Amino acid sequence: MTAANSTPSPDRGRAAAEEGGTRRSDAGNWARPVSSLKASTTTGTTDLVRGRRPMGAIQGFGQLWQKTFRVRLEGAGVTPAEVIRTWREHFGEFWPPNARFHAPLTGIAPGEVALLDGRAPGGLTLSTGVLVVYADDESFTFMTPEGHMFAGWVTFSAYDDGATTVAQAQVLMRAQDPIIELGMRFGGHRQENQHWETTLRNLAARFGVDAVASSEIVCVDPRRQWRRVTNLRYDVGMRSTVHLLGRPVRWLRRGR
């Protein structure tokens, strides 16, 4: 599987666009097909995505959800391009304090892999990442790898709604495996929703706007894909736990 043939077009990104009768290719905005991931930096975190494949929602286990979060930047006087430029350059700064985003060395650009950490109940740090599959002046899209909490895409965009610029995050996702699906039913969805609502509110605050994000949550497919139960072997919680328990051994090896 490759990123290019399994990723839906972002809201503002298309493989080709018609402009005044002239066909403009935006192939440079897409990541090249990859069979496994490799991060350009591991500073401040643990790289548990190296060698993992990118996975779209079709490869996930749980119910299929589409979640759309929006915030209106009333009175900010900024263009969609200005919003996206700021969002890409300072992406992790808008996240809530229980999660950290480690940007690639070259920033959020097609083909780059970003690492991220999130705090799970009980204090365990979950380490995973995302592949940047698309980026242009008005949108960018992440795709999750094997072992991430969910399989799918997240597209960040901004658009002009009359006299107001609107910033949006849209998630298309299935829980990666049965353990994650269970966790999503018992608070995981609420935590996920709050993450993006907080992110958009913080983004709005950067432009001097005090606003609450709206949300649209739709269960597109209520079925679970039991043939994907084998995704358990990549479960982020299990991998993070094993990595944590192996820390003393790695410390001893480095001391030799």
Q: What is the DSSP string of 83-110?
A: HHHHHHHTGGGGS-TTEEEE--TT-S-T
Element (H, E) at 244: helix 236-245
pLDDT at 240 over 60: no
Is residue 73 a part of any domain in this protein? yes
Question: Is 50 exceeded by the pLDDT of residue 28?
Answer: yes
3-state helix, strand, coil in the chain (%, to 5): 30, 30, 40
pTM over 0.85: no
Q: Is residue 176 part of a domain?
A: yes
User: Considering the domain boundaries, does residue 245 fall inside one?
Assistant: no
Please check the confidence at residue 83 and state whether its pLDDT lies above 50.
yes
Question: Which of 5-9, 204-208, 216-220, 248-252 comes out lowest in average pLDDT?
Answer: 5-9
Q: Give the confidence band of 128 by pLDDT, cuts at 50, 70, 90.
A: confident
Residue 116 within a domain:
yes
In a domain, 38, yes or no: no
Give the confidence band of 229 by pLDDT, cuts at 50, 70, 90: very high
In a domain, 149, yes or no: yes
Characterize 10-35 residue by residue with b for buried, 16 or more Cβ atoms within 10 angstroms of its Cβ, and e for exposed: bbbbeeeeeeeeeeeeeeebbbeebe
Structural domain of 160: 62-225
CATH code (residue 209): 3.30.530.20
The Cα–Cα gap between 144 and 55 comes to: 6
> Total domain count for the chain?
1
